[in-house]
Amino acid sequence: MGCQQTKNTTCDNSSSVANCHGEKDIENDIEYRIPEVNDRQKELITETWKQLVDNISNVGVITFMNLFETHPSVQDVFMPFKGLSKEELSHSTELRAHGLRVMGFVQKIVARLHEPEKTEALLRELGRSHVMYGAKEEYVDLIGPQFVFAVKPSVADHWTDEVEESWLQLFRYMAAIMKMAMAECPDNGGQCRDGHTWH
């Protein structure tokens, strides 16, 4: 099955391992494509996660500090971090706690790599909650590259191009489903088109 670049999701054709499945947004006539993480990539992700899990609190902080530095407008989405300097962010217990929440979620996905229905349900729910947090769809694509940059030192010698591509593909997959769910919800947090409501 071929991949297509669509309005709201990215689907990477550049990698030989990229594969996609899609679904139709009837109202906007947009065909969404979800990048697929293959078995080899799942194996590499599971192996490297074991090596980096002890350092996950730092990885979360570094991921978000780099994200705020490269894309300052994203920092403003987080009320507790708005206007904080780099120095203040590096000592912020709230940023550490937030990073841990995000990494805890990544851990859930890694633990369910072979249960696509469960991961998709979790990611859809997360996408919906992010509309309410004020995260724009385009911001969701930014996390994967920053995560990769942040974890590299923890995995050191075991880091390869294949490992890097596996993690990037996982984040493309996560971002695609989150964005699909975000597109289903109005900005003001009312009822989502598929019938889910905010809680």
Q: How far is the CB of 53 from ligand HEM (least distance, A)?
A: 16
Question: Interface with ligand HEM includes 81 (CB under 6 A)?
Answer: no
| Region near ligand HEM per CB under 6 A, out of 5-13, 51-59, 112-120, 122-130 | 122-130
Question: Interface with ligand HEM includes 196 (CB under 6 A)?
Answer: no
Question: Interface with ligand HEM includes 112 (CB under 6 A)?
Answer: no
| Region near ligand HEM per CB under 6 A, out of 1-9, 22-30, 51-59, 167-175 | 167-175
Tell me the one-letter amino acid at 131.
V
Q: How far is the CB of 193 from ligand HEM (least distance, A)?
A: 20
Q: How far is the CB of 26 from ligand HEM (least distance, A)?
A: 26
Q: What is the 3-state secondary structure (H, E, C) of the chain?
A: CCCCCCCCCCCCCCCCCCCEEEEEECCCCEEEEEECCCHHHHHHHHHHHHHHHHHHHHHHHHHHHHHHHHCHHHHCCCHHHCCCCHHHHHHCHHHHHHHHHHHHHHHHHHHCCCCHHHHHHHHHHHHHHHHHHCCCHHHHCCHHHHHHHHHHHHHHHHCCHHHHHHHHHHHHHHHHHHHHHHHCCCCCCCCCCCCCCCC
The CA distance from 77 to 56, in Å, is 23
Question: Interface with ligand HEM includes 111 (CB under 6 A)?
Answer: no
Question: Interface with ligand HEM includes 129 (CB under 6 A)?
Answer: yes
Q: How far is the CB of 167 from ligand HEM (least distance, A)?
A: 11
Cβ proximity to ligand HEM: between 86 and 199 the closer is 199
The CA distance from 135 to 115, in Å, is 27
Cβ proximity to ligand HEM: between 44 and 106 the closer is 106
- Quick one: which of 12, 38, 58, 77 contacts ligand HEM (CB under 6 A)? 77
| Range 57-76, binding ligand HEM (CB under 6 A) | 74
Question: Interface with ligand HEM includes 140 (CB under 6 A)?
Answer: yes
